[in-house]
Structures are given as C-alpha cells and as structure tokens.
Amino acid sequence: MNEEYAELLKILGVWMSDTTLLKRAFTHRSFVHEGIEDKHNERLEFLGDAVLELIVTEYLYHQFPDKREGEMTNYRSSLVCKEALAGMGEKLEIGKYLRMSKGEKNSGGAEKAYILANAIEALIGALFLGLGFGKARAVVEQHLLPELEQIIAEGRHLDAKSQVQEIIQAQFGVTPEYELLEEKGMDHEKLFSFAVLIDGKKIGTGEGGSKKRAQIAAAQNALDNAQKWQKTQ
C-alpha cells in the first residue's frame, strides 16, 4: 500500500490497496504537459461528475418525498456547484495531494476553487471505479451532504437569476441582461466573467467555469448589492 494516501483514506473511511486511480485523480493536466505523467484526471472528473449527480439525486429523492422537482433541482445544484465541492476539497486538504506543474503550483493552483472542485469529482470517479458505487456514496454522504442543512438555512439553494429577474421586472418593468465581460484560460479550464445589467447599467458581476455559473455568480453579486442599485435607479 502506498502510504502517501493512507491519511486521506482513513478520513474518507475507505481502503484501497492499489492507489493508481487516486494518483490519477489528483494529477492536473499541467503535470502531463511537463512530460512527467501521461494521464491526467479529466476522464475521472467526467465520470465522477455523473456519479456525484446520481448520488445527490437519489439522496434528495428519498430525503424530501414531498418536495417538487424544481426545488430538489435547486438543492442538487447547490451541493454539486464549484463552491460546495471546493469546500469539501479544502476540508479534506486535497490540495496537498495534487500533482501539477511548478508554474501552476506557484500560482496557487492547489488552492484554486475550480481545481479543487475538479479534483473532488475525479476522486469520486476513482472511488466508484476502484471500490464501487456504495463506497463512493458513503463518502459523499459523510463529507458533502451534511452541508445541505446550512445551505438551506442561508438560502444558497435559491436560484439567484430567478430572484434578480423577479425583482427587476416587478420594480422596473424590464428584463435583466447578461453581458460577457471576459473569457480566459485554456479550453479545458475556461473562466468566464459576466455582468448583469438594467437598461445598460451594471448592477453585478461574477466569474465561473461556465457561462451559466458566471451568470449565476453575477446575479448573486447583484442580490448582495440590491439595496444600492434599488435606491439609485
């Protein structure tokens, strides 16, 4: 057994005698680009994303028998979003296991939310392949699902874009617009920046690894500043 991951596996409550999949789960693309490794974690990330969504969906289905589809969808989105997964990554100290180029590491790559979130998805994919669905589910149930109570208490499960649209249409009689401010990064790690506008006036901005997430972040920023732009319109 490679002792490198013994502490992490103990925290997760699982055991893997062969840690090849774990090593791949924590291998960032930049590490491969330097020629140090020939396989990175993106395929595991792809698999883990689907496994995670199924685990969360199944949990919500049984946990909330009286909730409507739309509300459960909001719960699920809040649990599988970059921020929630990055939070899980921070608690598990995933950053210290990440393998990346010197340049990426020196730029704080081991602390970047989207890299941590991607690594968590890849970890779930690795657990699914190596130990089966049951073990992957047990890890998610222990280290991610308990966050839902606080998410609901803080209202983080609510759809920020819908809230912004309702407020603006009710008060100003117009529909908010979303403007792409910037698009940067390589194809596999794009970062988008959006602004939400009322009649051309910027009321919020946000970034995300997809256009949808960036728009949601911009809407949330607008909600955070609602008193300011509501008073000045």
Which residues partner with 208 through β-bridges?
A: 192
**Which of 45, 104, 121, 207 is the catalytic position?**
121
Q: In what order do the strands lie in the sheet with 201-208?
A: 177-184, 191-198, 201-208
Identify the architecture of domain 3-153 in CATH: Orthogonal Bundle (1.10)
85 contacts 116 by C-beta, under 8 angstroms: yes
Q: Which tokens hold the place of 141? A: 């149930």
Q: Which CATH architecture has domain 160-232?
A: 2-Layer Sandwich (3.30)
Phi and psi dihedrals of 207, rounded to 5? -120, 155
User: Annotated catalytic, 49?
Assistant: yes
Cβ contact 204:221 at 8 Å = yes
Domain boundaries, the chain: 3-153, 160-232
Tell me the average confidence (pLDDT) per consecutive run of 10 residues in the chain, 233 residues long: 83 93 94 74 96 97 93 90 93 95 90 94 97 98 95 80 83 92 85 94 92 90 84 48
- pLDDT the model gives residue 12: 96
Q: Are 67 and 141 in contact (CB under 8 A)?
A: no
Catalytic residue among 42, 45, 49, 207: 49
Is pTM beyond 0.75? Reply is no
Give me the phi and psi of 180, to 5 degrees please. -75, 120
18 labelled catalytic: no
